[in-house]
Structure 1
Amino acid sequence: MSVEVWAPIPARVGLRREAQADLSMERGDGGWWHADVELAPGDEYGFVLDDDDRALPDPRSRRQPNGVHEASAVFDLGAHEWADAAWTGRQLAGGVISELHVGTYTPEGTLDSAIDRLDHLVELGIDFVELLPVNAFNGTHNWGYDGVLWYAVHEAYGGPAAYQRFVDACHSRGLAVIQDVVYNHLGPSGNYLPRFGPYLRAAERNTWGESLNLDEPEVRRFIVDNAMMWLRDFHVDGLRLDAVHALRDTSERHILRELAEHADALSAHLGRPVSLIAESDLNDPTLIMPREAGGYGLTAQWSDDHHHAMHVALTGEIAGYYADFAPLDALVKTTSGGFFHDGTFSSFRGRDHGRPIDPDVPTWRLVTFTQDHDQVGNRAAGDRLSPALGERRLAVAAVLNLTSPFTPMLFMGEEWGASTPWQFFTSHPEPELGRATAEGRMAEFARMGWDESVVPDPQDPSTFERSKLDWSEPDDPDGAHARLLDLHRRLLALRRARPELTDPAFAHTSAWADDATRRFRMERGAPDAAERVVVLANLGLMPWEVGFDGPAEVLLSTGPAIADVVAADGMLVLPGESAAVVAVARSRGDH
């Protein structure tokens, strides 16, 4: 076999193997070095650059058995006998995502132990499992966004073999897999890529460190090849692209468009859907517009604006970036248009922000949520909605999230109102790096006006342990956790049963709100259909009398019991802090 590495910077490159003399590699075109040598699965190796006696891991290492500072190991991708030959994939349209972090999803924190909890997601009604980054990072536990070896699966999670077993297990249960990948920066410890080549722009930084050098064709190839590895070699169904606004690319063919083109070609070859979902702070619909219309052609993007509107409506919190979303009309705007800031002034940014979404864009191209890893973990105490809201308001949150016109996502444990926090945790072996990380977090919290005294030490192992789910909570059949879990199951079943709730047309969703009484109403369904679905959320404390212009049936309700059939006079009384989903027949004049 031939071992190769892109290393245009060093003048000499040697291949180091176990118990053998270093082998000089031959320099080829474009800064690629080659060596013809036999390496078997499990063999450890590294690269020696110039006069440095230390061997560095392979930038494209598939396995790091002893951590990111040590030797790489050969991994045979073909050793796993895949059992998903009949898997035809899942379209994102109409789907529901569950986001989870491998290290805190189960007490063991491994991919194999997560397999044991997949049936829970199937019974819940989930379609996609989205894993936070699993690439190799320094330390034992981390959110995953400090990865430095993008091609390797973190060994403590079980490594690449466990990852293959996990994806196979998901597919056998009808679950698609989305992998969160980070192409905008590298972690602060164990990043040896700049020793090999110009991977980074030293003079340009983003929020997390030096920017990737997207002017260099081999760096772009490094990113594209990694994306294709997950989709092709590990049979993953989609990628969530972290913080794409931090990708500085002025080329004629943006890296996101390049990724989308490769993904579409691979999808055609594999015969199954492949989804690329961007996290973006830009509120720019260019990401999801078709390439023939000048867009990048990504499948979907997150909409933080809809999260912010729901969060403020539910909690009343208006500090920092939540300030612009204080009126309940913000929820009306995001429900009917996707973005709140679509060219409007953002007080948090101090400037106009965003662009409107073309109403012809399908609504499912926006991924929305009431909680996710960022919106929970980036709070000072890593607190979920559950401690602040209580059962009744959490139930309203579930209705708002799962009946929206967008692709809804749940954060692990949200379905039962998990009481465990999800805090920011790190395990940097370098004390100075741990201190710098904690100080950086304090600065972020100060800008949001949050109480710094409640911030846990990210480096304290107990912060990580506290963030693990407590799977005993939903097992109490008479408790609030079980009731919330049952509500989520019924909501997801209703979403599958009623086509109005997955109707992708912006024009088929309308919304109304009254800020004084804290009442919200959303209507879903085509104007020529025999019925429409009305979603009611009473966020106030006083009962709400709601009238309908045709026969109506309550499909689902929260809070105190509501009659299954609306009274003969066409009125429904919705108690405070409750929600209902109602099917309303259109009168002859309506269609």
Structure 2
Amino acid sequence: MLFEVWAPQARERVTLELNGAEHPMERDAERDGWWTAVAPAADGDRYGYALDDGPLLPDPRSRRQPDGPDGHSAVVDHDAYTWRHAAPRLRLRSAILYELHVGTFTPEGTLDAAAARLGELAGLGITHVELMPLCPFPGTWGWGYDGVSPWAVHEPYGGPEALKRFVDAAHGLGMGVILDVVHNHLGPSGNHLPAFGPYFTDTHHTPWGAAVNLDAPGSDEVRAYLIGSALAWLRDYRIDGLRLDAVHALADTRARTFLEELSEAVDELAKEQGRQHFLIAESDLADPRTTTPRTMGGLGIHAQWNDDFHHALHTALTGESQGYYADFARAPLAALAKTLTHVFFHDGTFSTFRRRCHGRPVDRARTPAQRFLGYAQTHDQIGNRATGDRLSATLSPGLLACAATLVLTGPSVPMLFMGEEWGAGTPWQYFTDHTDPELAEAVRRGRRREFAEHGWAEEDIPDPQDPATRDRSVLDRTERERAPHNRLLAWHRELIALRRTLPDLTDPDLAAVRVAYDEGGRWLAFRRGVLRIAVNLGKETAQIPLGSNGRDRIVTAWEPVEAPGRDGALLLPAESAVILTDG
């Protein structure tokens, strides 16, 4: 077996230690900084690299870390797994995503336990499960955004074989799998990359310290490292797509950006395999060039999260106005209407939160709606609140039904956060399991200090290191059988079925969406083809002038409601939603 490692930091020698035996490595004559050795090895064999007689370090391209980020690497034979199911052919245009954290989706917190529950999601009508990051990190429980070894799977979740079983099970049920990957930072704990080469650079600084080296000397190899990792998920694990964390934090000044290189490599792999692979970016830039094809001068990412829609919807539902919600809270229904029709609320307009102009307009005539994801809740928007409270903690079932209606009938690709479909009562809090006591204490203090500045008492902030914080965040499936959760679940199931059967709800034409609203009356209505969707967020019945032709009929409604008469007025009960058709 060929072992190879990029280690330009090594001055004189690199040694492969395999199953306790040492094997000197040779410099690669054709690739600067690379070292190679050939040695017999089989699946599961442990190994590592020593640079200039230093300590044994895990392989930067390790496929498995059975003893955690600081332990030996292990050989993985990807060809040994026998796949049972072919990947389904699914289009992003008709997708319905479900964001899932393996460690809290079930009490067991493993990939196998999550796979056993995939039938529930298939029955709900979900087309793609989006897994939060799976790369190894210290301890057992965490969000996964401080992972290392971007080729490996967190061992407490089940390791590489369990991920293959999960993907295989999802494909067998006709669902795709998307994996959240983090390219903007690694670690800090268990991150041994700086010992090998210039994986990071002080040329740029990020919230996590030195930036990943995408444009300084040595960046060619770093880019290849990250792209190789991305392709490995798609090829070796048959993952269908990748969600790219915080691409706005990728410091990159090169003329041809890392994201362009990545999207081109993914498109080439898709063509080679005869499958559809896609990339979904998380971006704070409100810049449509992120998802514009490379042939049109864009980065070629296939879709992106749209936080502007979330923020507008959140303020309309809750009335909150702190932080970045301030820009949306002045006229939340107007903001919501704009994000339903023009995608970004900030499209070159002034942001009071940023104290500058922000964003760029979307060309609705040339930009299909499936390039954007719409959602009411995500791991970020719940877990980064002080107590990890979901919308269900403060909103009525009716308002939760309105939120679901706007997400699942709107023009963007809808995404739910796990448990949202039944209005889960469990919080989803920020939790860690750092094994470094100093790092654990720093995270604990930082979390408390951050929210104390916003008026929270320190004793009310959950301790990220306390196992109870993770335990509180585990879904309670017994809620699904009880009111009002069972009614919300049925509503989500019905809306998803409508989206999958009514072509107007997946029409990619953004310019065809028409919206009317009343800020004071707290109602909003919009048209999708022959369908009209209306929500009343107020506490009183709303009279909504639909301009009916007298032939409207109710498709479905959260509360009993009559179709409008020839006067065109719809009387919509408080905190409820309705879908009508005039076709």
Same fold (TM over 0.5): yes
State the shift of 1:19 in Å: 3.3
- Report the Cα offset of residue 350 of structure 1: 1.5
- Measure the CA separation in 2 of the matches of 1:443 and 1:368: 32
Instruction: Give CA-to-partner distance per residue, 1:38-70, whole Å, 9 cap, x none.
Output: 111111001111132x21100111111111101
Tell me what 2:63 maps to.
Answer: 62
- What is the rounded CA distance, in whole Å, between the counterparts of 2:207 and 2:447 in structure 1? 12
5+ unaligned residues in a row in structure 2: which ranges?
Answer: none
1:541 corresponding residue in structure 2: 539
Counterpart of 1:361? 367
Preserved CA contact (<8 Å) 1:88 1:271: no
Counterpart in 1 of 2:581?
583
After the TM superposition, which of the residue ranges 403-412 and 267-276 deviates more from structure 2? 267-276
How far the C-alpha of 1:253 sits from its partner, in A, is 1.1
Structure 1: how far apart are the matches of 2:402 and 2:572? 12
Code of the aligned partner of 2:345: F
Deviation for aligned residue 1:432: 1.2
In structure 2, the partner of 1:514 is 518
1:483-498 superposed matches below 5 A: 483-498=487-502
Match of 1:95 in 2: 95
Q: Secondary structure at the match of 1:276?
A: strand
Task: State whether structure 2 residue 429 is matched by structure 1 residue 429.
Answer: no
In the alignment, structure 1 residue 303 sits paired with structure 2 residue 306: yes
Which deviations, in whole Å up to 9, do the C-alpha atoms of 1:62-100 show, x marking residues without a partner? 111111101001111011101223x34311112110000
Number of the residue aligned with 1:380: 386
Name 1:84's counterpart in structure 2: 85
Are 1:434 and 1:459, in contact at CA under 8 Å, matched by a contact in 2? Answer: yes
Q: Within 2, Cα distance between the matches of 1:436 and 1:126?
A: 39
1:347-426 to 2 correspondences below 5 Å: 347-359=352-364, 360-426=366-432
**Equivalent residue for 1:30, pick from 9, 24, 32:** 32
- Please state whether the residue corresponding to 1:309 is helix, strand or coil: helix
Deviation for aligned residue 1:447: 6.4
320, 324, 343: which one aligns with 2:348: 343
1:162 shift after superposition: 0.5
Deviation at residue 247 of structure 1 after TM alignment: 0.7
Whole-Å separation in 2 of the counterparts to 1:512 and 1:540: 15
Letter in 1 for 2:143: W
2: CA distance, partners of 1:365 / 1:451? 41
Distance 2:175 2:230 in 1: 20
For each residue in 1:274-312, what CA deviation from the matched residue of structure 2 results, as whole angstroms up to 9, or x when unmatched? Answer: 110000011111111111211011110111000000000
Which stretch has the larger CA shift, 35-44 or 307-316?
35-44
CA distance in 2, matches of 1:378, 1:122: 29
Deviation at 1:187, TM superposition (A): 1.3
**How far apart in 2 are the matches of 1:448 and 1:295?**
39
Q: 1:265 aligns with which of 259, 268, 283?
A: 268
CA 1:448–1:228 in structure 2 vs 1: closer, same or farther (change >3 Å)? farther
What is the rounded CA distance, in whole Å, between the counterparts of 1:546 and 1:42 in structure 2? 65
Q: In structure 1, what residue type is equivalent to 2:14?
A: V
Matches within 5 A, 1:243-258: 243-258=246-261
Determine the C-alpha separation between the residues in 2 that align with 1:313 and 1:119: 34
Deviation at 1:509, TM superposition (A): 0.4
Q: Distance in 2 between matches of 1:185 and 1:475?
A: 41
The CA deviation at 1:207 is 1.7
Q: Secondary structure at the match of 1:67?
A: coil
Of the candidates 334, 338, 356, which is equivalent to residue 339 of structure 2?
A: 334
- Once residues 408 and 457 of structure 2 are traced to their aligned partners in structure 1, the CA distance between those partners, rounded to angstroms, is 31
What letter corresponds to residue 330 of structure 1 in structure 2? A
CA contact (8 A) 1:89 1:237 kept: no
Structural mapping, 1:87-236, within 5 Å: 87-215=87-215, 216-236=219-239
The offset of 1:453, in angstroms, is 4.5
Partners of 1:37 and 1:358 in 2: CA distance:
56
Q: Normalised by the size of structure 1, how large is the TM-score?
A: 0.94
8 Å contact kept, 1:380–1:451? no
- Once residues 207 and 457 of structure 2 are traced to their aligned partners in structure 1, the CA distance between those partners, rounded to angstroms, is 22
In structure 1, C-alpha distance between the alignment counterparts of 2:171 and 2:553, rounded to whole Å: 37
What is the CA deviation profile of residues 383-421 of structure 1, one whole-angstrom value per residue up to 9, with x for unaligned ones?
Answer: 000010021111111111111100010000000000000
Any idea what SS the aligned residue of 1:149 has? coil
> Which residue identity lines up with residue 255 of structure 2 in the other structure?
E
The answer to whether the 8 Å contact 1:137/1:154 transfers is: yes
Please give the alpha-carbon distance, in whole angstroms, between the structure 2 residues aligned to 1:437 and 1:34. 39
Q: CA deviation at 1:188?
A: 1.2
Q: Find the aligned partners of 1:220 and 1:443 in 2 and give their Cα distance.
A: 36
- Measure, in 2, the Cα distance between the counterparts of 1:449 and 1:500: 46
Once the two structures are TM-superposed, the CA of residue 567 in structure 1 deviates from its matched residue by 4.3
Residues 174-183 or 550-559, more deviating: 550-559
* Residue identity in the other structure for 2:114: A
Letter in 1 for 2:263: A
SS state at 1:251 partner: coil
- 1:195 to 1:108, Cα distance in 2 relative to 1, 3 A: same
Aligned CA distance change for structure 1 residues 499 and 449 (closer, same or farther; 3 Å)? farther
Q: Which residue of 1 aligns with 2:50?
A: 48
Instruction: Verify: 1:39 aligned to 2:41, yes or no.
Output: yes
CA distance in 1, matches of 2:448, 2:285: 25
**1:556 corresponds to:** 556
Query: How far apart in 1 are the matches of 2:514 and 2:554?
Result: 19
TM norm structure 2: 0.96
One-letter identity of the residue aligned with 1:163:
L
Q: Determine if contact 2:185/2:212 at 8 Å carries over to the other structure.
A: yes
Cα RMSD of the aligned pairs, angstroms, is 1.4
After superposition, the C-alpha distances for 1:431-454 in whole angstroms (9 at most, x for unaligned) are 211122223334543566666552
Q: Which amino acid aligns with 2:307?
A: D
CA shift at 1:584, angstroms?
Answer: 2.3
1:157 deviation in Å? 0.5
- Taking the aligned partners of 1:545 and 1:381, their CA distance within structure 2 comes to 37
Match of 1:257, SS state, is: helix
SS in 1 for 2:210: strand
Deviation digits for residues 21-54 of structure 1 (CA, Å, limit 9, x no counterpart) = x2221112311111111111111001111132x2
Tell me, yes or no, if the aligned pair for 2:564 and 2:571 is still in contact at 8 Å. Answer: no
SS at structure 1 position matched to 2:230: helix
2:480 is aligned, of 474, 477, 484, to 474
C-alpha offsets along residues 494-513 of structure 1, whole Å, 9 cap, x if unaligned?
A: 11222211111111102122
Structure 1: distance between partners of 2:437 and 2:414 = 39
Cα distance in 2 between the residues matched to 1:94 and 1:134: 26
d(CA) in 2 for partners of 1:265, 1:412: 32
CA distance in 2, matches of 1:571, 1:509: 20
Match of 1:503 among 497, 500, 507: 507
Write the distance in 1 (CA, Å) between the matches of 2:306 and 2:452.
Answer: 24
Per-residue displacement from partner, 1:113-133 (whole Å, max 9, x unpaired)? 111111110111101100000
Contact 1:554 1:566 in 2 (8 A): no
CA-CA distance at 1:17 after TM superposition: 2.2
- Cα distance in 2 for residues equivalent to 1:453 and 1:465: 18
Task: Indicate if the aligned counterparts of 2:241 and 2:279 stay in contact, CA closer than 8 A.
Answer: yes
In 2, Cα distance between the equivalents of 1:14 and 1:219? 22
- Structure-2 change in CA distance of 1:154 and 1:67 (3 Å): same
Asked if structure 2 preserves the Cα contact closer than 8 Å seen for 1:535 and 1:579, the reply is yes
AA aligned to 1:241 is L
Partner Cα distance (1:210, 1:500) in 2: 47
Cα distance between partner residues in 1 of 2:423 and 2:410: 19
